Amino acid sequence: METNIYKNLLEKINNGKRAVVVTTLDNIHNDISSSQNKILFTQESLIEYGKTSNFDEIIYEKAKYALETGNLQFIKVSEEKTYLIEPYFPEPNLIVLGGGHIAKPLVEFGAKAGFSVTVIDDRPSFANKQRFPDAENVICESFEKCFDLINLNESSFVVIVTRGHRHDMDCLRQTLKYNTSYVGMIGSKRRVRGVMDQLLSEGYSEEKLNKVNAPIGLEIGAVTPEEIAFSIISQVIQYRRLVDRSTGLMKTSKTNWPEFDRDVLTKLSKEENTSKAVITIVSAKGSVPRKEGAKMLIGSQGEILGSIGGGCSEGEVINTARYMLRNNIAYQTEKIDMTGDVAEEAGMVCGGIMNVVIERFDF
């Protein structure tokens, strides 16, 4: 039985893996559903595939670039053939170990910066939703047992700010067992040095310990809890955008975290044996409501899930998608112009141009 590529995609993302979906859009066979023309890669499988197949070198490099940068690629290689190369990154998770005075503003800043935040403390008066309304998850559990309740992976950013030296060390020991994007631990230089010496004596590798940001945060002269939280979240963002996860070194260009429509992907992952039209923004210029990678789904019965920005122009694309479903058309591209007179006549506050691809997906 044919495997649903979006089901596999969600499994990879839920395990903290970045992935890229390469779709071949073929004008000659424009009655074939795009579900038959998609290949899913993680970074590891892309490298392996490139070694063993006749994969087009240009497409291989573009897929690799998309995985590294988060930038969607829409490549026309001939009049007949175009490739849509979509990177998918897991939602970044900020894990705050400790619910004290620094954690409170840190959770707020992290949520506003686009992280899904989990805060953990072993004291009920500190680990509760009232204290941390911006947190996605608040866990009241010991620092020894809490790691069984969270999924630390490559999209996790771990901040250790517990109330005591012993708890900090216990948390660091546990965290170092996982491959995370960031680890930071609070403490003075003297105290941090003591922790590192102790863990070295226990057999932890110097290479792994050198990747721990301790003392935590960017050096901005922070004093108050809010200032310290600013310095920490700034460093976390720096690691999210500018640090190569494999080497720990600064990159020359920042990573774009692509638009991620989990509800749409979840719907596509279900085996319903129906046709759907998938609308994806492939380029965007100017002041547009959503960016490259944003998706909307049109069902065969007219149902709509997701949005590419709303307004009259979205309505035109919906009509095109429904026409394609009725007439068994596999894909089509469309330009949405929200500039000048077009935007003014439609009453839109945005002023930009979006190009979208509309695919028929059967599963």
Instruction: Write the CB contacts of 284 (distance below 8 Å, at least 6 apart in sequence).
Output: 290, 291, 292, 352, 353, 354, 355
| Tens-digit pLDDT string for the chain (363 aa) | 457 899 999 999 998 899 999 999 987 766 666 667 899 999 889 988 877 777 788 899 999 999 999 999 999 988 888 999 999 999 899 999 999 999 999 999 999 999 999 999 999 999 999 999 999 999 999 999 999 999 999 999 999 999 988 899 999 999 999 999 999 999 999 989 999 999 999 999 999 999 999 999 999 999 999 999 999 999 999 999 998 776 777 877 788 888 888 999 999 998 788 889 999 999 998 888 888 999 999 998 889 999 998 776 788 899 999 999 999 899 999 998 877 544 555 555 556 889 999 999 987
**How deeply is 331 buried, as exposed, middle or buried, from its count of CB atoms within 10 A (0-12, 13-18, 19+)?**
buried
DSSP 8-state secondary structure symbol assigned to residue 289: S
For the chain, the domains span 5-89+258-362, 93-242
Please list, in sequence order, all residues whose beta carbon lies within 8 angstroms of the beta carbon of residue 147, skipping any fewer than 6 positions away. Answer: 174, 175
CATH number assigned to the domain covering 93-242: 3.40.50.720
* The 93-97 sheet, strands edge to edge: 137-140, 116-121, 93-97, 156-160, 182-185
d(CA 310, CA 323): 19
User: From residue 233, how far is each of 109, 167, 262, 340, 360 by CA, in Å?
Assistant: 7, 21, 25, 39, 41
